[in-house]
């Protein structure tokens, strides 16, 4: 098949990583894959040069070295400007259909891109809409309405978590949405059996995004240190810690690590923490679990699919730093039971296999809608 994914941008986010993984797997299976995305030209006006240059560096250099490393040939940046912007767009400039190759299937990956492809001719491929979150952030009332209406566009919805499948059915009459749980690369994310560190280490992905709640995790760690004063903190992320979001004193942060470094960062922790108010899926905790690291996560939508019922993880209410601290202390205080938690986390992660997710996507794009629900027994 000739398959096109349409991204709003290429960066180091988890959503882009999912698209890159599918592009890699589908290419390996012999399909012709294109990943099209808008690339705004750099403006040399002195007031905007620095921000434009940083944006260009992130999208063109970091992305190629990160999620698309080794398959850079699938990337199809489309030069756009503000002229002729469609009235249905939000903050992004649409890609002209003349810049998109003909194909058999075309997949929108964000609510604005769904509008871009909705009116494309059939020569561009049968349209699909990969939904990785209910994208309410940075939306005013008008944009929120447009986002919601994108769920009603006449194209097959592909969702990454059960809560999104329920949302599609309950609010948008989308009973036909296909569930495709994300997977984890078990060749990259793995670890031998090990014991807890001494002193123990708390790890998490640091972010400036308000809904990621790095401030909540910092609060919980302060409470943990009241009981376990020697605990260490190790983090990584796309952004450096600064005043925009609280960070625990004495923490060790790795800024924009290479993809090859990330498994080692997960393995260096004895518990991995996610504090988000909302997550479409929660890929970092799945990767940490594959590395044998128990997790503590807020019960925020998509994380429930990964952690619920697993002895290698604990779910706590969103926004509750006290409950988060209690769960972290419970894991770190149980040194004798930690190896069993580690093994349980690893076994759960092994259910989320990219090959099975790609099997389901391939079948769906071919005309046979097929769910991949990782924790359900395979029929």
Q: Is the separation of the CB atoms in 36 and 117 below 8 Å?
A: no
pLDDT digits (tens, 9 = 90+) for 81-118: 654 444 444 567 888 899 999 999 999 999 999 999 99
Any idea which architecture 201-349 has in CATH? Answer: 3-Layer(aba) Sandwich (3.40)
pTM metric for this prediction? 0.87
CATH topology (fold) of 2-183+353-365: Rossmann fold (3.40.50)
Measured between alpha carbons, how far is 57 from 52 in angstroms, rounded to an integer? 9
Measured between alpha carbons, how far is 308 from 295 in angstroms, rounded to an integer? 11
**pLDDT recorded at residue 12:** 78
- Which segments of the chain belong to CATH 3.40.50.2000? 2-183+353-365, 201-349
The bridge status of strand 105-108 relative to strand 2-6 is parallel
**pLDDT recorded at residue 62:** 54
- Cβ neighbours of 332 (radius 10 Å): 23
Helices (H) and strands (E) in the chain, counts: 13, 13
Measured between alpha carbons, how far is 325 from 322 in angstroms, rounded to an integer? 5
Residue with tokens 């959503």: 15
CA-closest candidate to residue 195, choices 60, 313, 331, 336: 336
| 3-class SS letters over 10-41 | CCCCHHHHHHHHHHHHHHHCCCEEEEEEEECC
Residues in the chain: 379
Measured between alpha carbons, how far is 187 from 207 in angstroms, rounded to an integer? 26
Instruction: Give pLDDT < 50 ranges for the chain.
Output: 43-46, 63-64, 83-89
**pLDDT recorded at residue 140:** 80
User: Does an H or E element contain 297, and which?
Assistant: strand 295-298
Q: Is the separation of the CB atoms in 132 and 160 below 8 Å?
A: yes
Measured between alpha carbons, how far is 360 from 376 in angstroms, rounded to an integer? 14
- Cβ neighbours of 131 (radius 10 Å): 27
Burial class of residue 225 (count of CB atoms within 10 Å of its CB; 0-12, 13-18, 19+): middle
Structure tokens at 291: 């590395």
**pLDDT recorded at residue 83:** 46
Q: Where are the beta strands (DSSP E) in 100-200?
A: 105-108, 126-131, 156-159, 178-179
Structure tokens at 157: 């919805």
Measured between alpha carbons, how far is 15 from 13 in angstroms, rounded to an integer? 5
**pLDDT recorded at residue 86:** 46
Structure tokens at 52: 């434009």
């Amino acid at each position: 098949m000739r398959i096109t994914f349409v991204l709003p941008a290429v960066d180091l986010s988890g959503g882009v990583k999912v698209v890159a993984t599918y592009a890699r797997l589908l290419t390996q299976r012999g399909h012709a894959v294109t990943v099209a995305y808008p690339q705004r030209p750099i403006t040399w006006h002195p007031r905007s040069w620095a921000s434009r240059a940083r944006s260009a560096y992130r999208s063109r250099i970091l992305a190629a070295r990160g999620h698309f490393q080794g398959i850079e040939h699938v990337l199809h940046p489309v030069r756009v400007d503000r002229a002729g912007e469609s009235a249905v767009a939000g903050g992004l400039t649409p890609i002209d259909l003349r810049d998109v190759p003909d194909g058999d299937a075309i997949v929108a990956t964000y609510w604005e891109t769904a509008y871009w492809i909705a009116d494309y001719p059939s020569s561009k491929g049968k349209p699909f809409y990969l939904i990785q979150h209910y994208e309410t952030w940075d939306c005013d009332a008008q944009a929120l309405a447009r986002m919601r209406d994108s769920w009603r566009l006449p194209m097959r919805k592909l969702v990454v978590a059960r809560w999104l499948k329920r949302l599609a059915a309950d609010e948008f009459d989308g009973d036909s949405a296909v569930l495709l749980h994300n997977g984890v690369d078990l060749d990259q994310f793995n670890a031998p059996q090990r014991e807890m560190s001494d002193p123990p280490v708390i790890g998490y992905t640091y972010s400036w995004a308000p809904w990621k709640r790095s401030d909540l995790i910092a609060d919980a760690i302060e409470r943990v240190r009241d009981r376990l004063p020697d605990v260490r903190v190790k983090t990584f992320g796309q952004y450096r810690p600064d005043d925009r979001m609280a960070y625990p004193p004495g923490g060790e942060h790795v800024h924009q690590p290479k993809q090859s470094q990330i498994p080692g960062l997960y393995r260096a922790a004895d518990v991995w923490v996610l504090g988000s108010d909302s997550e479409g899926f929660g890929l970092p905790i799945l990767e940490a679990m594959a590395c044998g690291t128990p997790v503590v996560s807020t019960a925020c939508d998509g994380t429930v699919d990964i952690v619920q019922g697993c002895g290698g993880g604990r779910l706590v209410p969103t926004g509750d730093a006290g409950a988060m601290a209690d769960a972290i202390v419970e894991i770190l205080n149980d040194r004798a039971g930690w190896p069993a938690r580690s093994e349980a986390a690893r076994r759960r992660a092994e259910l989320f296999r990219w090959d099975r997710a790609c099997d389901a996507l391939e079948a769906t794009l071919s005309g046979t809608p097929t769910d991949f629900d990782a924790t359900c027994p395979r029929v």
